[in-house]
Amino acid sequence: MEVLTLFICGSFLLLMYYILRPKTGRISNFQQKYVLVTGCDIGFGRAIVEKLDGMGIHVFAGCLTHSAVEELKSQSSRIIPFVMDVTKTADIENAVTLVKKELPEGRGLW
């Protein structure tokens, strides 16, 4: 019973914070943002890529397989998919090179 009470109180406090928090500082200009996401073949990584793309954010999408890269290429011009195994130094170095090449002048990853 005590755990349930704590859960309800915590949920209420989170709800109140969400309702009463300052509305300033909202993020804008999504179309000018660039992010890097790994693990984009399936699961959370893929879902994040699709969500960010839907918001208008440019996404560098690191995938483990070539088939995932091809699937993402056909989804949107804002998605820049590439093969990347985060356990391989050469793949990480290639990702850095790609990001530097593709980012517009004066921009960085968000």
The string of pLDDT tens digits covering residues 42-81 is: 999 999 999 999 999 999 999 999 999 999 999 999 999 9
Q: What are the φ/ψ torsions at residue 103 (nearest 5 degrees)?
A: -70, 140
Cβ atoms < 10 Å from Cβ of 101: 7
Distance between CA atoms of residues 63 and 86, nearest Å: 9
Distance between CA atoms of residues 33 and 61, nearest Å: 14
* Mean pLDDT taken over the chain: 88
Distance between CA atoms of residues 60 and 100, nearest Å: 11
